[in-house]
């Protein structure tokens, strides 16, 4: 019965024995514990999951592409078939609402299908062949062929704010499985029930399509030790993580201290600055304000792409934009945050902004739930921002800081000093782009995605997408966690010199 | 006068002022100091070189591809035009011999030309375009375009053992310049004269083709501090290094501890195991022995691709291979090593092998020079190798360890336990490949290049080449330092969403 939760880790096709310790999910709206208890995985469970993944790796990596893509497609349809139960549980655990979660489930399934298509196409392998030339002088030229190969078992950490699209069957799991890496997922403790349902959908798809046992496992734990042991395990070859800067940095350091260091792809923090040029503020200030309001309050602001910093011209047009945004924020309803911890951190972030001298312009309506957050709009001058860089630190939740500027040069100077970001957005009139070239030139060095006339929330799952960015937006700014090129992160290059067909990987024969 | 050495760092198109401290190169054969003294770069020189690189970056990266490829081609022809002086000085500083150095110069020039061709082709940018669909439901699909962009100024550390192909104008410099990254090179202190001549050829090419001042600088120092400060400098965005494991690891740690960590591509150490299967030993043991002798003594064994470990079957055929190799090694002439320090380390490595119980079978002839090294051949059983992994550690120089095995399973077990390597080689008869599949499957996970019927020395500069490998062969086993894909290491992905042509990089318009 897919809808009945067991509260136990999935070790390949098997289910873990009950453990010594358990924890419960919490109804995000009421704060009440949800049944059943989840047994925390012990070190023996971890060892078994990783050992099974390591054993499954050669067989899984050697499957025909059509078999791996069938697994991904079956996983997508199984998720959809069980969608109602998954969304219902996720809504209780996260309070994100049925509409958003239904959309996220569809996106998660479609992402699995995109990677299935990419597996079938095979371009990700980047096959290159230099043929031999036995006649070449002074020495014969060898036959050299190369391609990308999977790294091995990958550890994936579920994210609190995307219980589906960046969690158990999310982007990192999909791209790792697509290239031939088994996955050991660590469920986020804030939504273990959702994780179990999704994990069982993946397990069912793995069983139905005959994947090697150990291709996918799912571990539960509400502390840090199990995750740390997972990153330290010698058979784990790469890590995918989406979460806080402190959490990501801790995993990066652990991985670097291993006898054999491994790559960690941690997506950590971003304020996603939005630059409103004077012409745009003048011509479309109200529409931009409305778009920003919708963006920074979407999902209670719990997005890594939340626009946390909006640079608005000083003067009347900027004032009108600000007033519209403030007015909208005051009317907005308080919404329940994902967890009590995230709510506490949000309140701490607001206090930090106030201490740093930001002026609070708007409070959204209060909520009845203990963990409800109201929209907050702040204002500072660009000189204050430059003097106190803490004003540009991410506050995870529905808060945004308006930064008033006078000259385009101030925008360029701020962009030069700012940390790496997932995105930056520009709003401008057609005649402003030429003047904005110096700003865009600086932003290109600081972000993974430059957006014009758009808010940063809403990451299109497409082939060209880059969802990444320089440190500290991510731990490895050369990569992306969304889009076709996400498959590259779990691969390495291998060359074959004069190797006979019997020993060549099939794509090189 | 290109042939007259000045002994001063090159800061863009300018020359550094004399510094407080200087050092001299040493004639590798005689141990005598060579004129002139080289002024160690001070912190002001470093600051100027990096600041110039940072300022040059936007203009250099924005050049037309044809301008950058013309620079690389001019650099190649300038190197060749000055080849006699470069080779003569390099021979005195390294004792590698005119023939080898002439070949290395040609390879270095051709590598610059290969990257020039790749720049013209433009494939390295990996342009992807997803066009907008304004009619899509529930939300319009944005226009998303992405490509690889250069990271920014790159620090390149010259290698002791490749004064040309992996030094000032070597692979890392060529691939960084090709994608649009300015380079600040740190000359290896063992061949500063060669470095100056090569650096001035690059500077001359930069001037002749109108590159922005600061696109290339060259710093001299005989200690570690300048290099460390270079890696720590905030404007440096990536590091290329070829050298010892300790040196590479030190730079990796420095880079990871920066407020904003940067990638370090360190090629460090490898023993490049060679697996001789029983049929090959039986049919072609003597020819294989001759190829191995030539390979492990080539360039006094001072190659990262030196075959330091040869797995040979027990019994008569293996004995014959061994005896042939021993006989050849005994007849081989002692050769002068690159530096006294490398010679000391080599002697230390030999002592370590002896302490670990390896039996020394052959000494090449002694030499008169204090830093001459004789070929050394050792023998151990595969059980000893497994029990004492130190036997599989790199000894940099003309030394190789024969490992006698009885069963193919022993080879698989050793391969499973071995560290990451640049290469592994297999010698076998046609009917042995099927049985070797389990061994090849393990080796594919451990190496950057799998070779059949060939020794590991001699890295073909071609599009498909992978010169890399899992840790500790390199610090980032996903990359290559030779071949077309070496350009990727100094790039990152950037996406542009709904960005008007005025603000798009030309390849995306």
Residue A496 reports pLDDT greater than 60: yes
The residue of chain A with its CA nearest to that of B475 is: A261
**Both structure tokens of A423:** 């995105």
The residue of chain B with its CA nearest to that of A127 is: B464
Task: Give the number of other Cβ atoms within 10 Å of residue B246's Cβ.
Answer: 9
Contacts of A484 in chain B (CB under 8 A): 128
What percent of chain B stands above pLDDT 70? 99
> Is A493 close to B437, i.e. CB distance below 8 A?
no
Residue of A265, A291, A435, A495 to mutate for B, most B C-beta atoms under 10 A: A495
> Is A450 close to B500, i.e. CB distance below 8 A?
no
Given B441, B448, B494, which is nearest A450 (Cβ)? B494
Q: pLDDT (tens digit, 9 = 90+) per residue, A337-392? A: 999 999 999 999 999 999 999 999 988 777 788 999 999 999 999 999 999 999 99
The C-alpha atoms of residue B172 and residue B476 are separated, in whole angstroms, by: 14
* Shortest CA gap B325–chain A (Å): 23
The catalytic residue positions of A are 267, 304
Contacts of A443 in chain B (CB under 8 A): none
> Is A499 close to B452, i.e. CB distance below 8 A?
yes
> Is A141 close to B263, i.e. CB distance below 8 A?
no
Torsions phi, psi of B352, nearest 5? -65, -45
Q: Token match 């702040």: residue?
A: A378
Rounded (10°) CA dihedral B482, B487, B493, B499: -160
Residue B357 reports pLDDT greater than 50: yes
* Shortest CA gap A60–chain B (Å): 13
* Shortest CA gap A496–chain B (Å): 5
Q: Which of the four pLDDT bands, split at 50, 70 and 90, describes residue B3?
A: low
Given A128, A151, A449, which is nearest B464 (Cβ)? A128
Residue B436 reports pLDDT greater than 90: yes
Query: Can you say whether the dihedral through the CA atoms of B428, B434, B439, B440 is positive or negative?
Result: positive
Residue A2 reports pLDDT greater than 90: no
Full DSSP string of A255-276: HHHSSS---EEEE------EEE
The C-alpha atoms of residue A49 and residue A55 are separated, in whole angstroms, by: 10
Strand blocks (E) in B165-302: 183-186, 216-219, 238-242, 264-267, 274-276
Query: Can you say whether the dihedral through the CA atoms of A160, A166, A170, A173 is positive or negative?
Result: negative
> Is B452 close to A478, i.e. CB distance below 8 A?
no
The residue of chain A with its CA nearest to that of B426 is: A499
Q: Using N-to-C axis directions, what is the helix angle for A98-121 and A65-81, rounded to 10°?
A: 170
Q: pLDDT (tens digit, 9 = 90+) per residue, B273-329? A: 999 999 999 999 999 999 999 999 999 999 999 999 999 999 999 999 999 999 999
Contacts of A466 in chain B (CB under 8 A): 146, 493-495
* Shortest CA gap A151–chain B (Å): 8
Full DSSP string of B315-360: SHHHHHHHHHHHHHHHHSPPEE-S-HHHHHHHHHHHHHHHHTTPEE
Residue B484 reports pLDDT greater than 90: yes
Say what the pTM is.
0.97
**A424: enclosing H helix or E strand:** strand A421-427
B293, B507 contact by CB (below 8 A): no
The C-alpha atoms of residue B179 and residue B183 are separated, in whole angstroms, by: 11
**A155: enclosing H helix or E strand:** strand A154-157
B143, A462 contact by CB (below 8 A): no
Mean pLDDT of chain B: 96
A327, A363 contact by CB (below 8 A): no
Q: Which residues of A14-46 are buried (b: 16+ CB within 10 A; e: fewer)?
A: bebeebeeebbbbbbbeeeebebbbbbbbeebb
Q: Which of the four pLDDT bands, split at 50, 70 and 90, describes residue A1?
A: very low
> Is B441 close to A58, i.e. CB distance below 8 A?
yes
Contacts of A145 in chain B (CB under 8 A): 464
Given B462, B498, B505, which is nearest A454 (Cβ)? B498
ipTM of the shown complex: 0.96
Contacts of B430 in chain A (CB under 8 A): 500
B86, B105 contact by CB (below 8 A): yes
Contacts of B478 in chain A (CB under 8 A): 151, 263, 491-493
Query: What is the average per-residue pLDDT within B365-392?
Result: 93
Q: pLDDT (tens digit, 9 = 90+) per residue, B34-85? A: 999 999 999 999 999 999 999 999 999 999 999 999 999 999 999 999 999 9
Given A440, A452, A499, which is nearest B497 (Cβ)? A452
- Catalytic hit among B104, B196, B267, B379: B267
> Is A437 close to B480, i.e. CB distance below 8 A?
no
The pLDDT value given to residue A490 = 98
Residue of B121, B436, B494, B501 to mutate for A, most A C-beta atoms under 10 A: B494
* Shortest CA gap A111–chain B (Å): 15
Residue B366 reports pLDDT greater than 80: no
Given A441, A449, A477, which is nearest B497 (Cβ)? A449
A418, A392 contact by CB (below 8 A): yes
- Write the CB contacts of A386 (distance below 8 Å, at least 6 apart in sequence): A413, A414, A417
* Shortest CA gap A248–chain B (Å): 13
* Shortest CA gap A26–chain B (Å): 32
Residue of B252, B430, B455, B478 to mutate for A, most A C-beta atoms under 10 A: B478
Query: What is the average per-residue pLDDT within B163-189?
Result: 98
| Nearest Cα to Cα of residue A132 among B462, B480, B112, B109 | B462
A216: exposed, middle or buried (C-beta count within 10 Å: 0-12, 13-18, 19+)? buried
Residue A138 reports pLDDT greater than 90: no
Q: pLDDT (tens digit, 9 = 90+) per residue, A275-321? A: 999 999 999 999 999 999 999 999 999 999 999 999 999 999 999 99
The C-alpha atoms of residue B103 and residue A272 are separated, in whole angstroms, by: 51
Query: What is the average per-residue pLDDT within A138-145?
Result: 94
Given B451, B493, B496, which is nearest A480 (Cβ)? B493
* Shortest CA gap B384–chain A (Å): 22
Contacts of B149 in chain A (CB under 8 A): 444
Q: Which of the four pLDDT bands, split at 50, 70 and 90, describes residue A3?
A: low
> Is A460 close to B263, i.e. CB distance below 8 A?
no
- Catalytic hit among B104, B181, B304, B394: B304
The pLDDT value given to residue B1 = 47
Task: Give the number of other Cβ atoms within 10 Å of residue A348's Cβ.
Answer: 11
> Is B471 close to A261, i.e. CB distance below 8 A?
yes
The residue of chain A with its CA nearest to that of B150 is: A445
> Is A500 close to B452, i.e. CB distance below 8 A?
yes
> Is A503 close to B149, i.e. CB distance below 8 A?
no
Residue of A493, A507, A508 to mutate for B, most B C-beta atoms under 10 A: A493
* Shortest CA gap A338–chain B (Å): 26
What percent of chain A stands above pLDDT 90? 96
B428, B284 contact by CB (below 8 A): no
> Is A448 close to B502, i.e. CB distance below 8 A?
no
> Is A465 close to B495, i.e. CB distance below 8 A?
yes
> Is A484 close to B256, i.e. CB distance below 8 A?
no
CA A313 to chain centre: 32
Task: Give the number of other Cβ atoms within 10 Å of residue A367's Cβ.
Answer: 15
What percent of chain A stands above pLDDT 70? 99
The pLDDT value given to residue A367 = 78
> Is A478 close to B496, i.e. CB distance below 8 A?
no
Given B144, B260, B463, which is nearest A465 (Cβ)? B144
The C-alpha atoms of residue A335 and residue A370 are separated, in whole angstroms, by: 10
Q: Which residues of A407-416 are buried (b: 16+ CB within 10 A; e: fewer)?
A: ebebbbebbe
Query: Can you say whether the dihedral through the CA atoms of A223, A224, A228, A230 is positive or negative?
Result: positive
Residue of B57, B264, B503 to mutate for A, most A C-beta atoms under 10 A: B503
Q: How many residues does chain A have?
A: 509
- Helix, strand, coil percentages for chain B (3-state, nearest 5): 45, 20, 35
> Is A500 close to B142, i.e. CB distance below 8 A?
no
> Is B503 close to A465, i.e. CB distance below 8 A?
no
């Amino acid at each position: 019965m897919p809808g009945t939760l067991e509260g136990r880790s999935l070790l390949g096709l098997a289910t873990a024995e009950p453990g010594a310790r358990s924890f419960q999910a919490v109804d995000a709206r009421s704060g009440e514990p949800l049944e059943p208890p989840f047994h925390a995985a012990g070190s023996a469970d971890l060892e078994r999951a990783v050992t099974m993944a390591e054993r499954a790796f050669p067989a899984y990596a050697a499957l025909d592409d059509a078999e791996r893509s069938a697994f991904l497609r079956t996983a997508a349809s199984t998720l959809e078939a069980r969608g109602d139960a998954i969304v219902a549980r996720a809504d209780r655990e996260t309070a994100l609402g049925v509409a958003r979660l239904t959309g996220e489930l569809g996106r998660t399934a479609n992402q699995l299908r995109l990677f299935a298509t990419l597996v079938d196409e095979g371009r990700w392998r980047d096959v290159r062949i230099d043929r031999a030339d036995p006649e070449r002088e002074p020495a014969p030229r060898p036959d050299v062929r190369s391609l990308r190969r999977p790294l091995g078992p990958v550890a994936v950490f579920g994210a609190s704010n995307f219980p589906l699209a960046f969690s158990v069957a999310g982007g990192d799991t999909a791209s790792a499985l697509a290239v031939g890496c088994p996955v050991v997922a660590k469920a986020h403790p804030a939504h273990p029930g959702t994780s179990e349902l999704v994990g069982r959908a993946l397990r069912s798809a793995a069983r139905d399509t005959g994947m090697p046992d150990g291709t996918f496992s799912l571990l539960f734990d509400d502390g840090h030790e199990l995750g740390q042991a997972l990153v330290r395990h010698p058979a784990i070859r790469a890590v995918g993580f989406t979460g806080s800067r402190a959490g990501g940095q801790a995993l990066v350091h652990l991985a670097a201290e291993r006898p054999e260091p491994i790559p960690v792809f941690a997506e950590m923090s971003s304020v996603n600055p939005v630059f409103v040029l004077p012409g745009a503020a003048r011509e479309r200030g109200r529409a931009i304000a409305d778009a920003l309001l919708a963006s920074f309050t979407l999902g209670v602001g719990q997005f890594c792409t939340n626009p946390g910093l909006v640079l608005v011209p000083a003067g009347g047009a900027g004032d009108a934009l600000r007033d519209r945004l403030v007015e909208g924020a005051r009317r907005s309803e308080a919404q329940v945050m994902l967890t009590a911890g995230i709510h506490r951190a949000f309140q701490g972030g607001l206090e930090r902004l106030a201490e740093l001298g930001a002026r609070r312009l708007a409070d959204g309506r209060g909520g009845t739930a203990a963990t409800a957050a109201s929209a907050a709009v702040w204002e500072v001058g660009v000189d204050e921002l430059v003097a106190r860089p803490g004003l540009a630190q991410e506050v995870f939740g529905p808060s945004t800081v308006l930064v008033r500027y006078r000259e385009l040069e101030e925008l360029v100077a701020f962009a030069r000093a700012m940390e790496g970001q997932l995105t930056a957005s520009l709003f401008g009139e057609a005649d402003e782009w030429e003047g904005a070239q110096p700003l865009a030139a600086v932003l290109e060095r600081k972000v993974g995605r430059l957006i014009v006339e758009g808010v940063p929330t809403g990451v299109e799952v497409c082939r060209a997408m880059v969802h990444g960015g320089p440190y500290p937006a991510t731990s490895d700014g050369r990569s992306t966690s969304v889009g076709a090129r996400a498959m590259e992160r779990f691969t390495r290059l291998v060359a074959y010199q004069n190797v006979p067909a019997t020993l060549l990987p099939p794509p090189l024969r």
